[in-house]
Amino acid sequence: MYLREGCSLLLKVPKKPHIPFVLNTNPTPFLHRVGSEPTENDRNRPLLREPEVVNRLRREPDISLALQFFVSVANSNSFKHTRLTYETMIKKLGREHETDGIQYLLQQMKLEGVSCSEELFIDVIASYRRSGLVEQALKMFYRIGEFGCKPTVKIYNHLLDALLCENRFSMINPLYSNMKNDGIEPNVFTYNILLKALCKNDRIDGALKLLDEMSNKRCCPDAVSYTTIVSSMCRLGKVDEARNLARKFKPRVPVYNALVNGFCKEKRFEEAFQVLDEMRDNGKDPNIITYTSIISSLCDKGFIEWSLAVFAQMHLRGCCPNIHTFTSLTKGFLSKGRLHEALEIWHCMIEEGNKPTVVAYNVLLHGLCLNGQINEAVSIFNQMEESGSAPNITTYSTLINGFAKAGNLLGASETWNKMIMKGCRPNAVVYTCMIDVLCRNCMFNEAHDLIDRMAEENCLPSTVTYNALISGLCNGGRPDLAAEVLDLMEKQGISPDTTTYNELLDGFLKVGEFSSGTEVVLEMEGRGIPLNTVTYNILLYGYCRMGMFEEALKLLGGMVVRGKKPDSYMYSALVHIYSGQGKVESAIRLLEGLREARGWEPDIVAHTNLISGICSFLGVEEAVSYLQNNMLQRGTFPNIVTWNVLVRFFFSSIGHLGPVHVLDDIIGNG
């Protein structure tokens, strides 16, 4: 499998050793090393001053050594810790997530009568927050009086914000009530946190009431207050209401930006440009966020030329694009397959001094892989590493997926090995990409082993993971094994989806097991799994391959009755059906009608199917005439399959020499 020996598929993160320490409240002679006997030099050592201890603690990068020094001076007669030295040590412990140590030192401060400042208590809350222990921070807060510290609005705000960041909404209101009971008046930061909590829960009415409360208490809402509400209204699709509300405020750029973003998400670009005009009328210049929101949305919707026009206007107004602007444009060009222009934008970005971020690199790599430019993607990946920008899990999964789509097992495996060696933990997406490339190389046992390894490493496979294995087995002509995998995934509690069944259906029909394919469809219907357009396309082509044209037409009729709209593949299937039944004139009329009514231009498959029908029922001369007048004149050129059809029917029509001269003319004209 080309995976290196000894490389774990999931790195084991070693647990950080607990740092034990004991502070002696009865000073003893200074110990040069913890646990050693005091020397004469230690006894004669001069007393330490607070700045010396603080500087030593701050400069020491190793938490264990800093703690050793902290303990040694505490257990000596040379220095008695102060509030500042305690604060310095607690901050260092907080950065290392040593919350037990923090709690111990707070208790020690309490015993020694060293009061805790507002700033220190805020640091303690921040430490618990970083460690994901916000409930512990709340418990500590309710003991704040024990440490000689009184609750302040600033402490309440930090605690409320910590609860908000972990979505502990049920704890926010009781804490706010406690704040009011303590007689502490909320300030604008308090209200903004409460507004965010309400908006996160889609309680816009409550947020508007709170806005009124702020005004009644003479606590003026700021740009954050208004932007929070306007952004939430736009997110909920209430863009017009948000705009009306914003007109009641003093014009602010962040609020305008929220409106622009809201209109762009709803593809209401004309109104987004109206907001830009309104900004200028009110003396507010659009900033980089304004322009980038519009450019990003236009690119996402495929309006690349419009995005370039906005980009030009941005330059004219003296607003310099940033890394996000360039990344959006690069992504837009890549989505349209315009690689040359995407790379021009990329190089322009670098020339203007914008260092690409990991996100920017990932966008470029994804676009290149999507367009089959895997070698170019590898080159960009190498540049990324040389520039000192560390690839992340998305980077590796993008490359592995690109190699998978190209069927390049060696490239995917080498990337996998590099990822492991760099200490990057594979996730379900990377595993699925690797399973895909193994299946494309018919290494089904190895793919199955990798799924087992996922479970061992507590990285649970998803429906998509199993779909990759099922697809590989079906494409490899083993739908029977794929059906066994379906049973296995269900035993593991992983539900199949429409894609799962589509892969299985396609696999059975490709090997001619029509009855098994029918059972798959019946099972889908029985389990309430919807048949989508892909399902119908698979069935239609299955019927056509088997010459069951009447059944194909009935299926198509049933599909229309169920409200499914035919796509280009189905139109091609219809042409095939009519041609196969000998209704060639009907197929031609159908093709012309669809071209005029729906603007559908038949592809080479549809043309080839029709030519096959014309050869069978009207003759080779008519087929050649169709080729000249309907394909070549419209810019569609025959491929090898089309020529094979014509040649095969020509040789089966002994004595009809006319068409051969026409064929010679066509071939001679290129």
Q: Is the pLDDT of residue 34 over 70?
A: no
> Of residues 150 and 18, which shows the higher confidence score?
150
For residues 527-531, give the mean pLDDT: 89
C-alpha–C-alpha distance, residues 73 and 207, integer Å: 53
The DSSP secondary-structure symbol of 32 reads S
E strands of 224-314, at which residues?
none
Tell me the DSSP string of 454-473. Answer: HHHTT----HHHHHHHHHHH
Whether 171 and 159 have beta carbons less than 8 Å apart is answered as: no
Judged against a pLDDT cut of 60, whether residue 13 lies above it is answered with: no
- pTM for this structure? 0.67
Inter-residue contact 474 to 482 (CB < 8 Å): yes
- Side-chain half-sphere of 635: how many Cα atoms within 13 Å? 1
- In whole angstroms, what is the distance from residue 87 CA to residue 106 CA? 9
> Per-residue pLDDT averaged across 274-290, rounded?
89
Q: 377-382: which pairs have CB atoms within 8 A and are 24 or more residues apart? A: 377/402, 378/411
What pLDDT digit, counting tens, does each position of 216-228 carry?
A: 888 888 889 889 9
Instruction: Sketch the domain layout of the chain as residue ranges.
Output: 599-668
The angle, 0 to 180 degrees and rounded to 10, between the axes of the packed helices 549-561 and 568-580 is 150
- Confidence class for position 369, pLDDT limits 50, 70, 90: very high
Of 89-93, 168-172, 371-375, 552-556, the one with minimum mean pLDDT is 552-556
Rounded mean pLDDT, 563-567: 73
Burial degree of 388 (CB within 10 A; 0-12, 13-18, 19+) = exposed
Q: Give the span between the Cα atoms of 347 and 458, in whole angstroms.
A: 41
Q: What is the pLDDT of residues 234-267, one digit of tens each?
A: 998 899 998 988 888 888 899 999 999 999 988 8
